[in-house]
A and B are shown apart, each in its own frame.
Chain A
Amino acid sequence: MSEVISLIQAPPDTPLKIVDILGGHGVRRRLMAMGFHRNDTVELDSRAIFRGPVLVKNLTSDTSVALGRGVAQKIMVEIIE
């Protein structure tokens, strides 16, 4: 079992498992509606400069979503060994 980190700290191009989604109803509901759930496998695709948003690929539902840093911070993941 690897340690739980926020999506923003995760290394790119590595399969990650969503452990938890923090934050209020609004953000959680929206993420879920767009197919982000606990236990999904995601991957950080690329990063923008200047502390920009992150691009997350959800391998479970095969979609790409851009998340602002604030939102990405609320997604807790662990690296799939």
Chain B
Amino acid sequence: MSKKNNDPDVVFIGQPNCGKSTLFNAIAGLKADTSNFPGTSVEHTHSKVNVEGNILNIIDLPGTYSLNPSDPAEKVALVHLFHEKPSLVINVIDASILGRSLELTLELVELGCPMIIALNMVDLAEKKGIEIYIRKLEKILGVPVIPTIAIRGRGIKELLDAVLRGLEEGLTVSPIEWSRDVEQKIEELINLLPEEFPVVSNKRFTAIHMIEANKLFFDKVLKDINPPLKKALDQVRHDLETMHNAPAYEVISAERHHLALKIFEECSRVFRGKRVRFEEKIDDVIMHPFFGYIILLAVFCGFFFIIFRVGSPLEELLLEPLTNLRHSLMLSLGTGVLSYLVDGLLAGIGGGVAIVLPYFLPLIFLMSFFEDVGYLARAGFLMDTFMHKIGLHGKSISPFILGFGCNVPAIISTRTLESRRDRVITSLLIPFIPCSARTTIILAIVAFYLGPLWAFGFYVFNILLVAVLGRVITLFFRTPSPGLILEIPSLKVPSIKNMMKKTYFQMKSFIKFAWPILIAGSIVLGFLQYLHFDRFINLILSPLVEKGLGLPRDLGVTLVFGFLRKELSLVMMLQALDVSYKDLLTVISKEQLIVFTVFINFFIPCLSTVALLWKEIGKRVALLSMGLNTGVAIILSFIARLILVK
């Protein structure tokens, strides 16, 4: 964050699916920096833009339904708003659901930050038969309202003009009154706030949020620092509760709800029942209790078909020149320590560029397509039933799909899950999903030596294993999942440009987080090889590798280093056994290969994944995940040995 200079901070805030990020990206261009990954300062996207010679520091916050956060991602939005005191807030609103969207707007009006409304998706509202009187809306809310269609880049110039004007002239926002009796109670509390009380923004906002606050945390603190005020707060809450026969927070929320609906009615006209919209007809099919699942299955199959169709030729294309480069470097550098280190470096870069990218890139591009169209939410709806069987709910489906590309972004995306329980369980299961690196191994070993059907079977088994593990893990959590509450956004025609931008940003943050670990791990590996540390490891592991799994002792080292880089295990296996790829079966049997693949595939998640688990979810979960994966890998590969290897 740039508190160092005086460039004004302009913050984008809006409810999920309102097109906020699309609008942000359209303004920020490709220069935006995603600091979404932990450890890289703050958790949001920001960029500096030059608007007619004025430098603005623009910040995109995660979508939030209200200023009373329920999921971890929403909390980020609030912490920012309250702490950084932005110069201007741009509230992005989905015009097609104006009534609901205004609830957040009203909260922002209470906050009193200078703000401008970007009334987005006005084309969609029009299609739905909603006509919005913009001037009237401006008048009631007391803030400028600019209609936009972010996906086509419409209204952006007008919005930026309004931003500059607002920053120059200053905007004052004053709250809109609620019912008399509620206002009276708020007034009472305001008058009791002591002078030195840490007021957020203004006294009214503070008082309202004290009433609304989640009792557990806030009340405890208040009771310690100011018992009389706590008593007064309880009295106010109690009064509101008896007056309206509902919890105080609900009274406040209902006030906003009704005010929002009133404003919506005053500022718009709805022409309903003109025709059954085309989108609704599509929805009838894709969410149909029977056809919906057939379509979902087809989509999934198509999805992975495309990824592998694009991925594997791309991988070969990229891997070959790198392998050649490594060979020629080895020849010229000799066998000194430098050659090992350089080889490690190249292998690390190669793994990132040639193995992860070819699969990950089409995957996130397709994901952003399904997300933008609105299918991802519908898949969550359809999959909820099955996810319930493993103790989770429909929202966990997109982290799982991402996991097939790379476990790292998959774990990050668990942030959209509201409860810690669901986050922990999902994060523990993600490392069991074969990411692109492990898929490479499955393809290279199982598909190549045993045939594609075996590889497919391996995949199916893997997915079943995730289901069984989910079932088992949830037994250890006493609290049930809070259940699915997932907004189903209207179907939209996606914009290729927006999808490409999204892919680009995700790619960029992935590279920033995972590559350094990947490369550093490979260099360490090169160094250990130089020291002949592998022999030592082979010796220690020989009881497990030789006696337990019935594999050649030399493979011990490859198992351990699979931790640093999953796909390296394959290359290292060839190195350790000192054979070429096509002669592999001369030194090891098919059955042994399966045992090996099973172990490598389920063994502890790679270093990047563990590092992320540690940071995102916590030390205990990271350690648990390592233990769980190792245990499962040992048990399954041992069973495989008993069945297959005589």
Contact = CB atoms under 8 A, between A and B. Distances in A.
A71 B483 contact: yes
A38 B253 CA distance: 11
A25 B485 contact: no
Contacts of A35: 99-100, 103, 257
Nearest to B104: A33
Q: Is the interface of A mostly helix, strand, loop or mixed?
A: mixed
A7 to B, nearest CB: 12
Contacts of B500: none
B289 A49 contact: yes
A69 B482 CA distance: 11
Given A26-B482, A38-B246, A47-B289, A53 B99 contact: no
Interface residues of B, number: 49
Contacts of A28: 247, 250
B509 interface: no
Nearest to A53: B384
Contact of B484 (A25, A37, A51, A68): A68
A37 B377 CA distance: 22
A65 B68 contact: no
Contacts of B70: 26, 29-30, 33
B583 interface: no
B511 interface: no
Given A30-B70, A37-B253, A60-B99, A65 B214 contact: no
B484 A53 contact: yes
Given A48-B384, A53-B381, A68-B384, A27 B261 contact: no
Contacts of B214: 25, 29
A33 B480 contact: no
A58 B99 CA distance: 11
B289 A32 contact: no
Residue among A25, A29, A58 with the highest chain B CB neighbour number at 10 A: A29
Contacts of A61: 97, 99-100, 261
Interface string B193-205: 0000000000000
Nearest to A52: B385
Given A38-B254, A48-B289, A68 B103 contact: no
B528 interface: no
A46 interface: yes
A58 B382 CA distance: 19
A37 B258 CA distance: 9
Given A53-B384, A60-B99, A65 B488 contact: yes
A29 B254 contact: no
Given A35-B103, A53-B384, A65 B485 contact: yes
B384 A52 contact: yes
A5 interface: no
B65 interface: yes
Contacts of A10: none
A32 to B, nearest CB: 4
Contact of B100 (A29, A62, A67): A62
A60 B290 CA distance: 29
B68 A33 contact: yes
B310 interface: no
Interface in A58-81: 58, 60-71
A2 B393 CA distance: 33
Interface string B234-274: 00000000000011011001100100010000000000000
A30 B485 contact: yes
A34 interface: yes
Contact of A66 (B100, B253, B488): B488
Contact of A48 (B65, B250, B257, B382): B382
A28 B293 CA distance: 30
B388 interface: yes
A29 B68 contact: yes
A70 to B, nearest CB: 4
A34 B65 CA distance: 6
Nearest to B69: A33
Given A37-B253, A60-B261, A31 B99 contact: no
B273 to A, nearest CB: 12
Contact of A53 (B253, B385, B480, B482): B385
Contacts of B292: 48
B293 to A, nearest CB: 8
Given A48-B385, A53-B381, A66-B381, A27 B485 contact: yes
Contact of B486 (A52, A65, A69): A65
B513 to A, nearest CB: 30
A37 B485 contact: no
Residue among A29, A31, A68 with the highest chain B CB neighbour number at 10 A: A68
Interface of A: 25-35, 37-38, 46-53, 55, 58, 60-71
Interface of B: 65-66, 68, 70, 96-97, 99-100, 103, 128, 214-215, 246-247, 249-250, 253-254, 257, 261, 284, 287-290, 292-293, 377, 380-382, 384-386, 388, 393-394, 418-419, 480-488, 490
27 contacts: A25-B215, A25-B249, A26-B419, A30-B70, A31-B485, A34-B65, A34-B487, A35-B257, A37-B253, A48-B384, A48-B385, A49-B293, A49-B385, A53-B384, A61-B97, A62-B96, A62-B99, A62-B100, A63-B100, A63-B487, A66-B485, A66-B488, A67-B483, A68-B384, A68-B481, A68-B483, A70-B481
Q: Which 8 A-B pairs have CB atoms at the shortest separation, nearest pair first?
A: A68-B484, A52-B385, A68-B483, A61-B100, A33-B65, A35-B100, A33-B66, A70-B483
